[in-house]
Each structure stands twice: as structure tokens, then as C-alpha cells.
Amino acid sequence: MMGSALAFPARENGHDVRLVGTPLDKDIIDECLKSNKHLKFERPFPSGIKYFQFEQWKEAIKDVDFIIGGVSSFGVDWFLEEVLAKLDPKIPVLSVTKGLINLDDGTLISYPDYWQRELAKRGIKRTINAIGGPCTSYELVYHDQTEVAFCGEDSAQIRMMKEAMQTSYYHISLTNDVVGLESAVALKNGYALAIAMTIGLVNRHHGEDAGLHFNSQAAAFYQGVKEMRLLLEMQGASRDCENIGIGDLYVTVYGGRTRKVGILLGEGKTYQEAMNILAGVTLESLVVSRRVYNAMARKAELGQANLDDFPMLCHAAAVLDNGKDAELPWESFTFDDTK
């Protein structure tokens, strides 16, 4: 959906835009060809966009200046095999996929880093750029004021992409801190999950008519930011990237798909019950939560991290995989720095 949403600023800037679906998007592309409208967007695309089924992707990329990749975390390896490995290395790529991969030693790497490593094994050298920041696809389609960042090792490439994409409502910062930005916008998924549990907990304890209670959300938000900052320090992230991640955490708690599963878990649903209710919804927050927890657990084994510093992360992992109740370990969030 985010890849599709980016067709709006690109086309509105006067560019030739071709939207290509994955093999899972046949119905979406059929509808676009029929009505110029995405099945999940309320507004039609700007006129002039061309639509292609995946089998036509090589035709669609002829003479392009760059490609935007909009797969989910579950399609990372598919995108590697079916597109990146077959794509001319001279064509720049900008990815909107948010996530991290944990290596055997607990190191967390970004998807651009993962793709570049895998391509290098095949003798293919390329750099992959990425987008990060607080942006939901449906609000971008509505032209809500949006602040994001493009990251990449090649400054000229991301400057070119910014010039192509920036509009009066889509504002773009630039950074070479790929691991920092990608870590920040990925980590927020796992913490948004835990924060959203507080909304479900209010429903469980006080009834769905009780409305939103902000004390518990704020307390969880504070702890989420605290742990994210520790993790981002380990990742060597810049302060600007940290701040973008915090902004992304905010929008994900209030407007993302992660909110839905967090609420269900907070209400007392088991992980499997929540998955059954949300069947068909892509939940990348669950991938990130598990990978980051596994990475920190491995680092703890190696004496390079202390899991006591990450009570919210550990709690989210236990709720997902060990059937633990969603009630957050509030007292573990307190601190005493008195002398």
C-alpha cells in the first residue's frame, strides 16, 4: 500500500509512473486498470499512471530513473530473487520495507544491508536506498502533511529521488545513516505493539465504553522510547534518526495495523485468537518484535547486553510466544537514580 501511495506525489510532480503488482496483487492491478483506483484507497490515482501485472515488470522498468520497492517484510527474499537479482545494477532502488534481520551473533542489520550482502555473494554490486518516517499510506493519499527521510550511501541518488518526490505535503530529509534510520523505523513496530496493549487492557478492565485512558498509554510510550533509544545507541544511530523513529512510533500506535493486534492481546485474546480475527492483515510488528528480542537474548548470552534493560521488549515476546498475559510489568519501568 505504501508503494502504491507514493505513486501520488510522483505522478503529481509530472513524472511518468508505472505501478507493478506482485503475484499477490492481481486483483488490485485489475481494479486499477478498470477504475484507476486501488482497492484499499478511497481516492483514485492521479490520471496518467500505467498499471502492470508482475509478469510485465521488465517491460514496465524500461528507461526508468529509479524503482520504488514496496514489498512487506514477508516478501524480502522474494524481492531479492525475483527483482533485485535480475535488475540492472545501474538502476537505483528506493525501498519502503521496514524491518531488521538478526544475525547469529545478535547483530541487527537493515534490509538494504541484507540485500546488498546477498547480491554481493552473486557478484552483483549495488547500493539500496530506503524511506523511513511517520507516514501511513492512506493519509499520504489524502495529502496530509508528512515528514519522512530518505537514506542511502550515495548522496547524489537520494538527492535525485527527493527532487522527484517532494511536494507541498510530502517533505523529505536526507541522511547517509542507513542503519540508523532503518533501525529506528523498524524498532517502533515492536514497541507500538506493546503500547497498544494498554488500549486493550482498558477495554478489558473498564469496558469498551470507557474510552481512551492516556496515563497508561503515556507510561508505556515513555518506556518504549527509553528502550528504543538504548537499542538505537547500540546500532550507532544519529539523534535525528532516533527522533524520526519516535515520530513513527507515535503514528503507528494511533494509526497503524499494529494497533489492532495490540488491542486484541490487551483485551485478553491469545496470540492465535488475535491472528484468526486479523486474518489477511500484514503484521510486520510481530516479525520485528521476535527478531529484536532474539538478537538481544543472543547478545545477553555473549555478555554484550542486559535483558533487564528491555522489560517491554521481553514482555512483548513472552505475550506472543509464551502465552503470557498482556498486563504490562509496570513496576519494572520505574527507576531510582538517587544517591
**Are 151 and 70 part of one and the same domain?**
yes
**Are 149 and 217 part of one and the same domain?**
no
Which of 155, 176, 197 is the endpoint of a domain? Answer: 176
**Are 311 and 295 part of one and the same domain?**
yes
Proportion of the chain above pLDDT 70, given as a percent: 99
**Are 148 and 201 part of one and the same domain?**
no
What is the grid cell recorded at 273?
Answer: 485468537
CATH number of the domain that residue 164 is part of = 3.40.50.720
CATH number of the domain that residue 277 is part of = 1.10.1040.10
**Are 125 and 196 part of one and the same domain?**
no
Which of 135, 157, 176 is the endpoint of a domain? Answer: 176
Complete DSSP assignment for 136-157: -HHHHHTT--EEEEEE-S-HHH
Nearest CA to 37 out of 61, 4, 2, 60 is that of 4
**Are 113 and 75 part of one and the same domain?**
yes
Amino acid identity for residue 57 in this structure = W
**Are 213 and 247 part of one and the same domain?**
yes
In a domain, 275, yes or no: yes
Secondary structure E strands in the chain: 18-20, 50-52, 67-69, 93-95, 100-102, 108-110, 128-132, 146-151, 170-175
Q: Which structural domain, as residue segments, surrounds residue 213? A: 184-333
- CA dist 1 and 39 (Å) reads 10
**Are 101 and 222 part of one and the same domain?**
no
β-pair type (128-132, 146-151): antiparallel
Q: What is the per-residue pLDDT for 282?
A: 67
Which of 149, 176, 203 is the endpoint of a domain? Answer: 176
**Are 35 and 53 part of one and the same domain?**
yes
- Cβ–Cβ < 8 Å for 242, 175: no
Tell me: pLDDT of 315 over 70: yes
In a domain, 27, yes or no: yes
**Are 39 and 106 part of one and the same domain?**
yes
Tell me: pLDDT of 335 over 90: yes
**Are 56 and 204 part of one and the same domain?**
no
Give the model confidence (pLDDT) of 39-97 as tens digits: 999 999 999 999 999 999 999 999 999 999 999 888 999 999 999 999 999 999 999 99
Give the model confidence (pLDDT) of 215-241 as tens digits: 999 999 999 999 999 999 999 999 999
Cβ contacts of residue 150 below 8 Å, gap of 6+?
Answer: 94, 129, 130, 131, 158, 161, 162, 165, 172, 173, 174, 175
- The stretch 249-260 carries a mean pLDDT of 86
In a domain, 339, yes or no: no
**Are 223 and 328 part of one and the same domain?**
yes
- Cβ–Cβ < 8 Å for 262, 193: yes
